[in-house]
Chains A and B, each alone.
Chain A
Amino acid sequence: MNIIITIVVTALAVLYAGLFKATKALLPLTLVGLLVALGFCVTAWDTNTIYYGMMQMNNFAIAFSSLLILGTAFIFLLTENYFAKDSENVAEYYTLILFALSGGVMMVSYTNLSMLFIGLEIMSVSSYILAGIRKNNFASNEASLKYFLMGAFSTGFLLFGITLIYGATGSFSLGAINSYLVGNYKMVSPLFYPGVILMMIGMCFKVGAAPFHFWTPDVYEGSPSLITTFMSTVVKTAAFAAFIRIFAGTFAPLHDFWMPPLMVIVCLTLFIGNVTALFQKNFKRMLAYSSISHVGYLLFSLITLTSTSNNNVLLYTAAYTFASITAFAVLILVKQKTGGDDFESFNGLGKRNPLAALALTVAMLSLAGIPLTGGFMGKYLMFLNVMNQYQIYLVAFAILNALVGFYYYLRVVVAMYFKEGADVLLETPVQYKVVLILSVIITVILGVYPSVILNLI
Chain B
Amino acid sequence: MEQVLLLLIFLPLVAALITAFTGNAAKHVAMVFALASLAITAAIACQFTPDASKQFVVNLPWIQSLGINFHAGIDGISLITVLLTNVLVPIIILASYQSDYKKPASFFALILFMQAGLLVVFTAMDAFLFYIGWEAALIPIYFICAIWGGKDRVRVNMKFFVYTIGGSLFMLLGIIYLYLQNPAHNFDIQAFYQLSLDPAQQGWIFWSFFIAFAIKMPVFPFHTWQPDTYTEAPAGGTMLLSGIMLKMGIYGVIRWLLPIVPAGVQDWGTTAIVLSVIGIVYASLIAFTQKNAKRLVAYSSIAHVGLISAGIFALNTQGMQGAMIQMLSHGINVVGLFFVLDIISSRLKTNTISELGGIAKVAPKLAIAFLIIVLGTVALPGTNGFIGEFLLLMGVYQFNIWAVVFAGLTIIFGAVYMLRMYQHVMLGKTNELTIGFEDIRGTETLVLVIICALIIVLGVYPKPILHLSEASVQQLLEQVNQKLTSVK
Of chain B, the residue at the smallest CB distance from A402 is B169
Q: Are A399 and B169 in contact (CB under 8 A)?
A: yes
Distance between A343 CB and nearest chain B CB, rounded to angstroms? 12
CA distance A388 to B182 in the complex (A): 12
Q: Are B63 and A449 in contact (CB under 8 A)?
A: yes
CA distance A372 to B169 in the complex (A): 15
Q: Are B173 and A387 in contact (CB under 8 A)?
A: yes
Distance between B141 CB and nearest chain A CB, rounded to angstroms? 13
Of chain B, the residue at the smallest CB distance from A350 is B147
Instruction: Chain A residues near B139: list those with CB within 8 A.
Output: 365, 370
What is the size, in residues, of chain A's interface with B at 8 Å between Cβ atoms?
28
Give the secondary structure class of A's interface: helix
Instruction: Chain A residues near B1: list those with CB within 8 A.
Output: none
CA distance A365 to B177 in the complex (A): 24
Q: Are B165 and A403 in contact (CB under 8 A)?
A: yes
Partner of B170, one of A384, A399, A410: A399
Indicate if B289 sits at the interface (CB-CB under 8 A).
no
* Most central of A371, A387, A449 by chain B CB within 10 Å: A371
Indicate if B409 sits at the interface (CB-CB under 8 A).
no
Q: Are A396 and B162 in contact (CB under 8 A)?
A: no
Q: Are B162 and A454 in contact (CB under 8 A)?
A: no
| A-contacting residues, B279-318, CB 8 Å | none
- Given contacts A449-B63, A450-B63, A454-B63, whether A372 and B143 have CB atoms under 8 Å apart is no
| A-contacting residues, B152-193, CB 8 Å | 153-154, 158, 161-162, 165-166, 169-170, 172-173, 176-177, 179-180
| A-contacting residues, B43-75, CB 8 Å | 62-66
CA distance A418 to B153 in the complex (A): 9
Distance between B264 CB and nearest chain A CB, rounded to angstroms? 16
CA distance A383 to B175 in the complex (A): 11
Instruction: Chain B residues near A381: list those with CB within 8 A.
Output: 66
Partner of B132, one of A372, A383, A403: A372
Q: Are A417 and B147 in contact (CB under 8 A)?
A: yes
CA distance A451 to B66 in the complex (A): 9
Distance between A169 CB and nearest chain B CB, rounded to angstroms? 36
Partner of A384, one of B147, B153, B161, B176: B176
Instruction: Chain B residues near A153: list those with CB within 8 A.
Output: none
CA distance A387 to B185 in the complex (A): 14
Instruction: Chain B residues near A402: list those with CB within 8 A.
Output: 169
Indicate if A392 sits at the interface (CB-CB under 8 A).
yes
Indicate if B136 sits at the interface (CB-CB under 8 A).
yes
Indicate if B131 sits at the interface (CB-CB under 8 A).
yes
- Given contacts A383-B176, A387-B177, A387-B180, whether A371 and B162 have CB atoms under 8 Å apart is no
Partner of A403, one of B135, B143, B162, B180: B162
Q: Are B173 and A418 in contact (CB under 8 A)?
A: no
Indicate if B356 sits at the interface (CB-CB under 8 A).
no
Instruction: Chain A residues near B65: list those with CB within 8 A.
Output: 451, 454-455
| A-contacting residues, B103-162, CB 8 Å | 131-132, 135-136, 139, 143, 146-147, 153-154, 158, 161-162
Q: Are B154 and A418 in contact (CB under 8 A)?
A: yes
CA distance A387 to B205 in the complex (A): 14
CA distance A392 to B143 in the complex (A): 33
Distance between B62 CB and nearest chain A CB, rounded to angstroms? 8
Instruction: Chain A residues near B162: list those with CB within 8 A.
Output: 403, 406-407
A 398-418 binary contact with B (CB < 8 Å = 1; else 0): 010011001100100010011
Distance between B17 CB and nearest chain A CB, rounded to angstroms? 12
Distance between B340 CB and nearest chain A CB, rounded to angstroms? 28
CA distance A105 to B135 in the complex (A): 38
- Given contacts A387-B180, A406-B165, whether A414 and B170 have CB atoms under 8 Å apart is no
CA distance A450 to B161 in the complex (A): 26
- Given contacts A365-B139, A383-B176, A418-B147, whether A371 and B132 have CB atoms under 8 Å apart is yes
Instruction: Chain A residues near B177: list those with CB within 8 A.
Output: 387, 392
Of chain A, the residue at the smallest CB distance from B179 is A384
Partner of A371, one of B63, B136, B143, B161: B136
Partner of A414, one of B131, B146, B179: B146
CA distance A384 to B65 in the complex (A): 13
Distance between A362 CB and nearest chain B CB, rounded to angstroms? 11
CA distance A277 to B176 in the complex (A): 28
Instruction: Chain B residues near A392: list those with CB within 8 A.
Output: 173, 177
Q: Are A371 and B131 in contact (CB under 8 A)?
A: yes
Indicate if A31 sits at the interface (CB-CB under 8 A).
no
Indicate if A395 sits at the interface (CB-CB under 8 A).
yes
CA distance A388 to B173 in the complex (A): 11
Instruction: Chain B residues near A395: list those with CB within 8 A.
Output: 173, 176
Instruction: Chain A residues near B165: list those with CB within 8 A.
Output: 370, 403, 406
CA distance A454 to B154 in the complex (A): 38
CA distance A403 to B168 in the complex (A): 10
Partner of B146, one of A396, A418, A449: A418
Q: Are B166 and A372 in contact (CB under 8 A)?
A: no
Ranked 3 nearest A-B pairs via Cβ:
A371-B135, A371-B132, A399-B169
7 cross-chain CB contacts under 8 A: A370-B135, A372-B136, A383-B173, A395-B173, A399-B172, A410-B161, A451-B65
Name 9 extra pairs, CB < 8 A, besides A381-B66, A388-B180.
A372-B132, A372-B136, A384-B176, A399-B170, A403-B169, A407-B158, A410-B158, A418-B147, A454-B63
Q: Contact residues of B with A, CB < 8 Å?
A: 62-66, 131-132, 135-136, 139, 143, 146-147, 153-154, 158, 161-162, 165-166, 169-170, 172-173, 176-177, 179-180
